[in-house]
Every structure is written in C-alpha cells, then in structure tokens.
C-alpha cells in the first residue's frame, strides 16, 4: 500500500467539507416544509434531520458506486488533483448559492466539477458518456416525477379531507408532518451522503490504496458524520425560499410535499441513482401547489430557480477546469 500523500489528505478533507456544506445547504430543503408550516421548531427540525441523515447515510453504497464508477471510464484516468479540483469547484458553487439563498443542486455541482476536471486532465475520451447520460437523466426526470406525484397526493388528500375545517386539518397534519419529515431526512441522507463516499473511494482506488470499488467502513462513518454535523448548522435562507417563496404551505400541503419527495428519493437510492434533493423537493412543492390552484405557485421564483439549476453543471465544470489547472502549480 502506498504512503498517503498530502494531496490525498486534501481530497479526504475537502470531500468531508463537501458533505458538511451539503448538510447545511441541502438539509434546509429537506426540512423547509415542516418548518414553514410551524409543525416543529427549526432547532428540533435540524436536530431530527441531523440524526436521521446520519442513519440514512449508512444504509447502502449503491449511489456511491454510481458516482465513483460511472462518470469516468477507469479509475486509472484520474488522480488526486482531478478529484480535488472537482470537490473545490462544487464547494465554491454551493457556498455562492447558499450565500444568495438560491436552492441549487449540490449533486449537479459535484458532477459538473468532476466532468470538467476529468476533461481538463485526460480529455473527453476519459468520460463515460453513457454513465453520465444515465446520471443526468435521473437528475432531470426526478423533479418532474416528483411534481406529478406531489400533485396526485395532494388531489387525493383534498378529496379525502377537503370538507374538514382548516383548524382540524392543521392540527392533524402537523402531527403527520413529524413522520413525513423524518422520512424525508432519512432518504436525504441515504442518497446525498453517498456522493462524497463515491468520490473518496474513487480517489483511494485511483491511488492504489484499495483494489476494488468497495466503500471502506471508515469512509461511510466519516461522510455520515460530516453531513450530520453540517445539518446541525442549518440553512435559514434556503428554508425561506423553499418553504414560502414558491408556494405558501399549510400542514396538509407540507405533508404531501414531504411524502412525495421521500418516496422519489428512496426509490432513486434503491436503484442506485443519484438525485438532487433540491430539485425533488421543489418539484413536489410545485405539484402540491398546482393541485390547489395553478396560480398559487409563484412561477417567477420557480423560473429563477430553474435558471440556477440549468447553469450549475456547466459553470461548475468550468470552475473544475480552472481549479485543476491551478493544482498543477503545486
């Protein structure tokens, strides 16, 4: 086994930093509906999410293998410089969008950064185009499905409970939101934490520290802990955008959005597909809002978010190229 290098230590550090930032960046998306309807306080929601994110992150490694194995044709075509550049590019984009309260996708940022860094280092021939197409397809299709499922769930709930008084509905669905929020937090951890696991494992494989793409136990726990700690840091700016600016939530619509999102993310994890929590939650909220009244959804906000999503992969890829070029001087 080769001696661990400073560059490898930097890769591990920045991968865990990415998971930490992903925790406070994307967890805001996961708990936004519950907090905005005042089902539970922000502090309790963040604590609940941190614990369940940790548990969900230990569930499986299928998504990690997709991220680490399906973007490049071979681990031998990347090195620590490439992976470090991808991570820094994703972190820069995440911090910028978090600062301005834009709920962009950490998954898109990481994939864009990795694609850019690999292309800069080894050319486009090193990229597994088929694998990338599958990943991008799952990222694009998942929010559309979430919108449809969210719409259908809300229609069913309105049909079943629409005749009840609002105060009765609010009281009952606030309790149900505890369950839907827990499911949402667990599913978020099960999918999102695995992305950093895949990156670290790819770095270990490309550098000869492991012989096959199997995620080491210490990597699982380190990534799960980093995301849980990041979750505890919270993300109030994005909670406001997701919980109120797209569509003003009530407990029943919050429950419907959480249920839709957790089902989509859990299914994606089962099939080893990475999805964006941001996109899925946004799609669910739009679907739920449309079920009540299409004009109830603030489509201008949704349009601005869509622009951020579309730009994330190409811009983070460009940053990945620039960061990789910069690492060659060290």
Higher-pLDDT residue of 104, 84: 84
**The pLDDT of residue 34:** 76
- Give the pLDDT mean for 33-46: 75
Q: What is the 3-state secondary structure (H, E, C) of 41-59?
A: CHHHHHHHHHHHHHHHHCC
Q: Is residue 188 part of a domain?
A: yes
**The pLDDT of residue 242:** 47
State the Cα–Cα distance between residues 278 and 317, nearest whole angstrom. 19
Q: How many CB atoms lie within 10 A of CB 125?
A: 9
**The pLDDT of residue 150:** 94
**What radius of gyration do the chain's Cα atoms show?**
19
Bridge partners of 72, per DSSP, are: 127
State the Cα–Cα distance between residues 109 and 91, nearest whole angstrom. 8
Confidence of residue 148 (pLDDT cuts 50, 70, 90): very high
Query: How far from each other are the two terminal CA atoms of the chain, in whole angstroms?
Result: 24
Give yes or no for a contact between 173 and 42, defined as CB atoms under 8 angstroms apart: no
DSSP state of 244: I
**φ, ψ (nearest 5 deg) of residue 5:** -95, 165
- Site of tokens 């309807």: 37
Confidence of residue 243 (pLDDT cuts 50, 70, 90): very low
- Give the pLDDT mean for 296-301: 68
Q: Per-residue pLDDT for 164 more than 70?
A: yes
Higher-pLDDT residue of 244, 11: 11
Which segment of 81-95, 101-115, 230-244, 285-299 scores lowest on mean pLDDT? 230-244
Count of the separate structural domains present in the chain? 1
Write out pLDDT tens, residues 101-118.
666 778 888 999 999 999
**The pLDDT of residue 289:** 86
Q: Per-residue pLDDT for 281 more than 90?
A: no
- Give the pLDDT mean for 294-320: 77
Write out pLDDT tens, residues 45-69.
777 878 888 888 888 888 998 888 8
- Give the pLDDT mean for 273-289: 86
Identify the CA nearest to 18 among candidates 76, 118, 88, 103. 88
CA angle 63, 68, 74 (to 5 degrees): 140
Among 155-159, 176-180, 203-207, name the most confident range.
Answer: 155-159
Q: Is residue 295 part of a domain?
A: yes
Q: Is residue 1 part of a domain?
A: no
Tokens at 170, concatenated: 């609010």
**The pLDDT of residue 146:** 93
Which segment of 77-81, 265-269, 294-298 scores lowest on mean pLDDT? 294-298
Higher-pLDDT residue of 21, 300: 21
C-alpha pair distances (Å), 160 with each of 19, 156, 167: 40, 6, 16
Domain of residue 46: give its range. 6-327
Higher-pLDDT residue of 44, 11: 11
- Site of tokens 């105060």: 167
Tokens at 46, concatenated: 């963040």
């Amino acid at each position: 086994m080769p001696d661990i290098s400073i560059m490898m230590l930097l890769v591990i550090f920045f991968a865990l930093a990415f998971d930490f930032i992903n925790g406070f960046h994307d967890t805001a998306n996961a708990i936004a509906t519950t907090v905005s309807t005042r089902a539970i306080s922000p502090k309790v929601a963040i604590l609940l999410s941190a614990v369940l994110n940790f548990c969900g992150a230990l569930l499986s490694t299928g998504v990690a293998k997709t991220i680490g194995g399906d973007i490049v044709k071979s681990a031998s075509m990347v090195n620590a410089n490439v992976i470090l550049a991808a991570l820094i590019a994703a972190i820069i984009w995440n911090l910028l969008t978090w600062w301005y309260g834009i709920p962009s996708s950490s998954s898109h940022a990481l994939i864009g950064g990795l694609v850019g860094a690999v292309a800069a280092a080894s050319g486009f021939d090193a990229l597994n185009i088929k694998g990338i197409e599958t990943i991008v397809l799952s990222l694009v299709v998942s929010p559309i499905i979430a919108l449809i499922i969210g719409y259908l769930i809300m229609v069913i709930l309105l049909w079943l409970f629409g005749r009840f008084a609002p105060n009765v509905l609010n009281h009952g669905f606030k309790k149900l939101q505890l369950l839907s929020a827990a499911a949402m937090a667990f599913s978020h951890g099960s999918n999102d934490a695995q992305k950093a696991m895949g990156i670290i494992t790819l770095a270990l494989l490309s550098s000869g520290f492991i012989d096959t793409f199997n995620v080491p136990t210490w990597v699982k726990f380190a990534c799960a802990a980093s995301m849980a700690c990041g979750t505890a840091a919270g993300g109030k700016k994005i909670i406001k955008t997701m919980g109120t600016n797209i569509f003003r939530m009530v407990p029943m619509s919050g429950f419907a959005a959480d249920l839709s999102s957790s089902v989509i993310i859990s299914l994606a994890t089962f099939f080893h597909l990475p999805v964006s929590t941001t996109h899925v939650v946004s799609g669910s909220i739009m679907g739920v809002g449309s079920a009540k009244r299409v004009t109830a959804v603030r489509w201008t906000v949704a349009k601005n978010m869509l622009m951020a999503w579309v730009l994330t992969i190409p811009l983070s890829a460009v940053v990945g190229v620039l960061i990789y070029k910069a690492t060659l001087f060290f």
